[in-house]
Each structure stands twice: as structure tokens, then as C-alpha cells.
Amino acid sequence: MNTLIDKKLEAARRHLDSGTCPLLELAEKIGWSPAYLQKRFKQAFGLSPAEYASQRKVATLKQHLKYAPDVTQAWVDSGYGSSSRVYENGAAKLGMLPAVYRKGGAGLTIHWTITVTALGNALVAATERGICAVALAEEQTRLIEELRAEFPNAELNHVPDDDGIIASKVRSVAEALAGKASHAPIELIGTAFQHRVWQALMTIPRGSTLSYAELAERLVLPKAARAVARACAGNRVAVLVPCHRIIRGDGSLGGYRWGLPLKEDLLQRERMGTIGK
């Protein structure tokens, strides 16, 4: 992209970060046709303007659900026009009803299993609405502790990986971990900035790496390398959002939520083209 296009895309993103904006109105603000804006925005951020705005609202909702005095106040502060919109849109992306998430999963049953993949143990957890966690570690206790930390008040129901409750979700995650086409739902719930970083991570080809600074450059935010690093560290979806492909400027591995040995193994497998084989 040239500088002018970069600036227009950043302007469009800022408008969406400030609140919802119909595509036609947004295109008029930017000076492009709606179709061209839709195409360019999706190329840059991996989402259409409407999808980006929806993710931003869900990220805001998630934060407000933790701290607002009640659920109604949370959805009002998050920009939803009615409670029905929260449950139609927000609940689907949170993987649970907003009131339940706010209470740390209280009253919620989360079915989880640990399955063995080419990358070692993988925990897959899901509510009736969809996958809510994917984590990797050799020690099963660590995987369970991570799940409990995210949903401290939920009822965690351990099931076999071939149980009908979760089997299809496990297959979807296993396929994605093996580098195959998959329809595994990924909950990219975070701040607008985190979402941009995570989407950018998914554009890095297998076997390739970037430094934090290089990724910041791709985002047209050359001075935001530290913020990019923090966003990578906040990724909760192993491999599907490939933060393992980010290294330090000096070529060293840097950090990794699921451990540096696993990060090194992932990169080596990808470079050799053996991941999932």
C-alpha cells in the first residue's frame, strides 16, 4: 500500500473505533466508493468495516461486563441499542450470555477435554454456544489452571475427546493445529488494538517470522512495538492466532505464553513443513 491509502485506512479505522458508522457514510468520510473501501479495509485488517465495528463493540462489552454495576448498564455503555442486540450479537461472540461471563462463568457448564496432537497436549473447552478456550502445554494441570483462571466460577465438566458434546469442536481445532482448513470458531475478544494485532498475526505465512517492530510497521504504527508485544502476550488462542511467529529484533525467540520450548518446536516444524504430519 502507498502512504495515502494507509492514511485513509487508518482514518476509517479510527472512525469505527469512535463508534458505529454505516458503510456509505464511512466511505463518504474517506472519499472512496463503498465497494473499494470494503475491499481495501478487509485486505488490511482481515475484516469488513461492519465486522471490525462488531468486534470492537464486543471487546468493549466484555470489559464493561466485568466492572459495570449491572448488565443493563454494561450493554448501554458498550453501544448496544437494546438488550436483544446484546444477546443476538454479543453473546454469540462471547460464547455465553453476558451476565454469565460477568460473573466469571457462574452457573455455566463448560465442557472441556485434553487431546493429544502433533504439538502435544491441547485443551479444548466449549459451552453450548461454541469454543471458549484453546491452550497448549505438556502438563495437564497447567492447562486446567488456565481454564479456571478465565472462568473461575463455572462448572467445568471433563469429557472424553470423542464425546458428542465436544467431539466436532475438538476435530475442528485439531485440523487447524495440523495446518488444515478448518471452521473452528475463534473468539478474538479484546481491545480494538489487540484485534488489529491478532489479525495481522494471521497474515504471516507459515515458516516465516517477524519482529515486534516489523509487525508494528505493518500496522502503520512504527512506534508501537511495545504495545504490539503486549497484544501478542495477551493472545489466548494458541497456533490459530500464531503469535509464535513473532520474535525479537535480534533474532532471539522472545516470550511465549505456552513456553519457549514449544515456540521453538512450532517454528522448526513450520520451517521444515512437517507440522501436523
Catalytic residues: 243
- CA distance linking residue 273 with residue 277, whole number of Å: 9
Provide the grid cell at 225.
512495538
Q: Convert 93-117 to b/e letters by CB count within 10 Å (16 or more is b).
A: bbbbbbbbbbbebeebebbbbbbeb
| DSSP assignments along 42-90, one per residue | HHHHSS-HHHHHHHHHHHHHHHHHHHSSSHHHHHHHTT-SSHHHIIIII
Instruction: Tell me whether strands 155-158 and 109-117 are parallel, antiparallel or unpaired.
Output: parallel
Provide the grid cell at 113.
477435554
Spell out the residues 6+ positions from residue 108 whose beta carbon is closer than 8 angstroms to its own. 96, 100, 127, 151, 154, 155
- Contact assessment for residue 256 and residue 135, using Cβ atoms and an 8 Å cutoff: no
